[in-house]
Amino acid sequence: MQYIEYGTPAYRRTFLSMLLGSTVTFAILYSPQTLIQTFSKEFTISPSTASLTISFATFALAISMLFVTVFSNAWGRKKIMSISLLLSSLLGILSAFSPNFETLIFLRILQGIVMSGFPAIAMTYLSEEISPLHVGRIMGIYVSGCAFGGFFGRVIVSTLTDFFSWNIAILALGLISLLCSILFWIYLPESKNFKKTDLSFGNWVSGISSGLKSKNLFYIYGLGFLLLGVYVALFNYIGFPLSKPPYHLSQTAIGFLFVFQLAGSWGSYFFGKLSERHSRSRLMSWALIMALIGSLMTLSSNIFILILGLILFASGFLAGHSIASGWIGIVSQPNTKAYASSLYLLFYYTGSSLIGWSGGVFLSHFGWIGVIFMICGLLLFTCVLVIVLNRSLNIAKIENQIEFYS
């Protein structure tokens, strides 16, 4: 196979394209996070209902990713990703003109469906085209791009909402995303290791079934479900305590606080490099400890301690996601990688929808401390899942060695 090697022009083009693609996807997907308070007031709805602008989009994205794979196997990786980004941007522009909350939700669901083409295929494209020696590193870059996209979307939307309105903010983000989507189509190298298959429902059923047969893959799916769930829950509702005493932060200031997610993006790249030399289970454990400590620090009344907690929490999450997403390519069989990646992302975004929504329920009944205790409980359960996965992988390794020598 002809892989893209680190340091080559094709590698740099892939780096730039993936940065653009992940920026567009996650800017559009999570930009309403800073508007949950705005929607709650403007449409006279509860925080958990307002958060459905996130949950419905992510759930639609999660379900759609299961079906995108069969089209990408027949039509090609680059084409599907490019069309996905362009349609997402156009729907973003259209959603700026939503006359009511119901219309906004409907357009967000459509965005989730068309948006699925990028994240469902990006990891598969990278695992097929990038040299196996550097796939952990480039996966870390991809995850960092996701963090940048989330930050970029939130800052643009929160700032323009303060100065103008949420409609103008969403419109501006849609136009910027459209430009980035065009550049992605131009710069991303064509697939060289992609093997076209017929558009077949039978192939899809066979691939999905293969991705559901491995219990080790199920453990990794569970990691994705819990990791993004707690991450979205924290950042969905952090604006509520920050807008009240003792902080009294404005919408713009809260939006710019998401810059500390970028400071946390070092975790995905750094841990991605470490995964080339160290045990993934040990690195995942450290990532979860970072997230746990960071979440508890957000209970502090000192804004500087809270900000440090956000950095630590974001670093832990992004590092954990980088490790888990890279694990999929290692544990899955070559002919099931695309389907296993789609299933991982199905669980990943379903966690975002369900746990992200649940955070609003905890906030309404128990306040911010209730949200944090929910997050801590789920992070501890994630640690247990890592221990079980590591034990299962070690047993499988020993069994393979016995079979080899017998």
Give the pLDDT band (50/70/90) at residue 9: confident
Task: Give the angle 124-127-132 at the CA atoms, nearest 5°.
Answer: 175
pLDDT at 302 over 50: yes
Stronger pLDDT, 357 or 399, i.e. the higher one: 357
Q: Structure tokens of 161?
A: 């909402």
**Interatomic CA distance for residues 99 and 87, integer angstroms:** 21
For residue 354, with 0-12 CB atoms within 10 Å meaning exposed, 13-18 middle and 19 or more buried, which class applies?
middle
Q: Report CA 163 to chain centroid distance, whole Å.
A: 29
pLDDT at 272: 61
Stronger pLDDT, 194 or 105, i.e. the higher one: 105
Backbone φ, ψ for residue 4 (5° rounding): -85, 120
pLDDT at 119 over 90: no
- What is each CA distance from 107 to 121, 122, 124, 147, in whole angstroms? 22, 24, 27, 23
How many beta carbons lie within 10 A of that of residue 392, not counting itself?
Answer: 16
Give the pLDDT band (50/70/90) at residue 276: low
Residue range 87-102, pLDDT digits in tens: 999 999 999 999 899 9
Q: Average pLDDT for residues 302-322, to the nearest whole number?
A: 88
pTM of the model: 0.73
pLDDT at 86 over 70: yes
Q: Encode 62-82: b = buried (16+ Cβ within 10 Å), e = exposed.
A: bbbbbebbbbbbeebbbbbbb
Q: Which CATH number is correct for 9-189+204-405, 3.60.20.10, 1.20.1250.20, 1.10.260.40, 3.40.50.970?
A: 1.20.1250.20
The domain spans of the chain are 9-189+204-405
**Nearest 10 degrees: CA dihedral of 251, 252, 256, 257?**
-30
pLDDT at 404: 38
pLDDT at 403: 43
Residue range 222-241, pLDDT digits in tens: 999 999 899 989 988 888 88
Residue range 145-195, pLDDT digits in tens: 777 787 788 888 888 988 888 899 999 999 999 999 999 999 888 877 666
pLDDT at 263: 66
Q: By percentage, how much of the chain surpasses pLDDT 90?
A: 29
Q: DSSP per residue over 291-307, as a string?
A: HHHHHHHTT-S-HHHHH
Stronger pLDDT, 132 or 178, i.e. the higher one: 178
Q: What beta strand segments (E) does 188-252 contain?
A: none
